[in-house]
């Protein structure tokens, strides 16, 4: 009677075409022990005689046994996988973030499931649901997401870390770049050098980083007693081309600015290109600065003054936070971190020669 499942067709026959992967049962049979013992050895759970232990290890290796992770995660309810949700995968920025995340995850034996190219909320919500059950935790980086659509599309207890999101809900762990502070000190640097007409090339209005940087710029001007004039703020979208166009617009003004603050390095590069074509020299005629400190910034001519952000560190910190949340089963005090930035003065703002 104990053989209550023995009536169907016998699946043990070797009729499969290719080699099937060895299962824990194969290893057990080969070693002349039960699957329980093998499992105990492989997971270091429970006591096993030393000799048996060695023998099983040896056999498992020889048979190239690797546990079936689907089965494993079915019983343990863990997947050893971290999900990463990204808005769009352009440029060097995201590649750095992923690198930071992946490295940290790997160190702790986790895998990284990436999902990118989400521009509207519907897409994000879809991916959020698709991640369900596939991951033990989530790093979400999305300007367009609010707390409501987040919580309503996520399993209750799934740990989440928000990266550069606008959700100011204190019940989520989050990490943000100090965009405001960075933009503030860069603008301050410019005013201290005597610039009173400082143009700003903005990022997309939808983008939180962009808005925060603009805010820092305005506040710094105000604090320096410089009027904030709308005409000096030109739209951009973080792409090189938009920086080019924006610079052209600024040059066309009656009172052309003496300095241009591009909200990121890519746009600064576009701007410099436009200035050069217009016969305006940098930094003599117009100073140009950026934000991010992408690797090539220092090799531009003139070398670009900018605000440094440690992007891969951003990913690393987020991952550590997430792993911690997982370990504590999400039953912990959530916290909001802000990653500092650093002013990098090179030649393009005209100060390095001083």
Partner DNA sequence: TTGTAGGCGTTATCAG
Partner DNA sequence: CTGATAACGCCTACAA
Interface with DNA by CB under 7 A: which residues? 2, 4-12, 20-21, 23-25, 32-37, 39-40, 42-43, 45-50, 52-53, 65-68, 71-72, 74-76
- 159: closest CA among 6, 28, 346, 331? 331
- Residue 81 engages a second copy in binding (rule: CB under 8 A): yes
Which of 63, 89, 147, 228 is the binder for a second copy (CB under 8 A)?
89
CB-wise, 1 or 230, nearer to a second copy?
1
Q: How far is the CB of 123 from a second copy (least distance, A)?
A: 9
Q: Per this entry, what is the length of the chain?
A: 354
The C-alpha atoms of residue 197 and residue 265 are separated, in whole angstroms, by 20
CB-wise, 35 or 224, nearer to DNA?
35
Helix/strand/coil percentages in the chain, nearest 5:
45, 15, 45
Q: How far is the CB of 155 from a second copy (least distance, A)?
A: 6
299 binds, among a second copy, DNA, none (CB under 5 to 8 A by kind): a second copy
43 binds, among DNA, a second copy, none (CB under 5 to 8 A by kind): DNA
98 binds, among DNA, a second copy, none (CB under 5 to 8 A by kind): a second copy
- 164: closest CA among 133, 220, 199, 203? 203
Cα 268 to Cα 1, 229, 290, distances in angstroms: 78, 20, 5
240 binds, among DNA, a second copy, none (CB under 5 to 8 A by kind): a second copy
Tell me, by CB under 8 A, how many residues bind a second copy: 60
Helix (H) or strand (E) holding 97: helix 91-107
36 binds, among a second copy, DNA, none (CB under 5 to 8 A by kind): DNA
Q: How far is the CB of 227 from a second copy (least distance, A)?
A: 31
Tokens of 216: 């820092």
User: What's the DSSP call for residue 86?
Assistant: -
Q: E strands along the chain, which residues?
A: 81-85, 111-115, 137-140, 160-163, 173-177, 198-201, 233-234, 259-262, 287-289, 306-308, 336-339, 342-344
Contacts of 52 (CB under 8 A, 6+ apart): 31, 33, 37, 41
- Residue 272 engages a second copy in binding (rule: CB under 8 A): yes
Helix (H) or strand (E) holding 186: helix 179-192
Residues that bind a second copy (CB under 8 A): 1, 4-5, 18-19, 21, 66-71, 73-74, 79, 81, 89-92, 94-96, 98-99, 102-103, 106, 111-117, 129-130, 132-134, 155-157, 239-240, 243-244, 266, 269-270, 272-273, 276, 295-296, 298-301, 303
């Amino acid at each position: 009677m104990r053989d209550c499942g023995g009536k169907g067709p016998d699946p043990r026959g070797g009729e499969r075409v290719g080699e099937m992967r060895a299962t824990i049962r194969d290893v057990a049979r080969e070693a002349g022990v039960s699957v329980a013992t093998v499992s105990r050895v492989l997971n270091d759970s429970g006591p096993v005689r030393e000799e048996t232990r060695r023998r099983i290890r040896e056999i498992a290796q020889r048979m190239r046994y690797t546990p079936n992770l689907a089965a494993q995660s079915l019983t343990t309810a863990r997947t050893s996988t971290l999900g990463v949700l990204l808005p769009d995968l352009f440029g060097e920025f995201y590649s750095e973030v992923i690198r930071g995340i992946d490295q940290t995850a790997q160190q702790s034996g986790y895998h990284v499931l990436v999902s990118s190219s989400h521009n509207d909320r519907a897409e994000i919500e879809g991916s959020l649901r698709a991640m369900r059950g596939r991951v033990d935790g989530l790093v979400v980086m999305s300007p367009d997401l609010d707390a409501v659509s987040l919580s309503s599309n996520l399993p209750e207890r799934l740990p989440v870390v928000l990266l550069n999101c606008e959700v100011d809900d204190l019940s989520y762990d989050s990490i943000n770049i100090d965009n405001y502070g960075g933009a503030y000190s860069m603008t301050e640097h410019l005013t201290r050098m005597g610039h009173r007409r400082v143009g700003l090339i903005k990022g997309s209005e939808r983008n939180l980083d962009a808005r925060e940087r603009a805010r820092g710029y305005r506040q710094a001007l105000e604090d320096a007693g410089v009027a904030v004039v709308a005409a000096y703020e030109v739209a951009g979208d973080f792409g090189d081309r938009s920086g080019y166009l924006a610079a052209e617009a600024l040059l066309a003004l009656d009172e052309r600015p003496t300095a241009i603050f591009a909200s990121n390095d890519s746009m600064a590069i576009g701007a410099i290109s436009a200035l050069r074509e217009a016969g305006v020299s940098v930094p003599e005629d117009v100073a140009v600065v950026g934000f991010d400190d992408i690797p090539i910034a220092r090799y531009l001519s003139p070398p670009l003054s900018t605000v440094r952000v440690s992007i891969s560190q951003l990913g690393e910190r987020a991952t550590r936070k997430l792993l911690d949340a997982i370990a504590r089963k999400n039953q912990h005090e959530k916290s909001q971190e802000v990653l500092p930035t650093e002013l990098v003065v090179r030649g393009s703002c005209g100060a390095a020669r001083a």
